[in-house]
Amino acid sequence: MFVFLSRLVMLVIALSVLRSAVAFLQGLWMDLTGGKATQRRPPPAANGGTTVLQQDPVCGTYVPTETSLKRIVDGKVLHFCSNDCRDRYKA
């Protein structure tokens, strides 16, 4: 009976050691895979959304793509902060 109990205790110890080893390896794996994934992700925008800022070529102000005034010049889309800047670029 004592032999059986000591074997049971050994089994429990072996299992807990194995479990902590698996947890350690999982953490290592997360560091290797997850760490690289976070580095590959582009930095978040200032307002936390997907807003992309475009520079106004006239006054140099950065304007969000959705709200900017667009004009296509030589096949390139230019973004302006106001009608005033857009008209000034024309001249």
Q: Which residues bind Zn ion (CB under 5 A)?
A: 56, 58-59, 61, 81, 85
Closest Cα partner for 56 from 74, 78, 41? Answer: 78
When the beta carbons of 78 and 85 are compared against Zn ion, the nearer one is 85
CB of 72 to Zn ion, least distance (A): 17
**Least distance (Å) between residue 69 CB and Zn ion:** 9
CB neighbourhood size of 16 (10 A): 10
Q: How far is the CB of 56 from Zn ion (least distance, A)?
A: 4
Tokens of 40: 């590959």
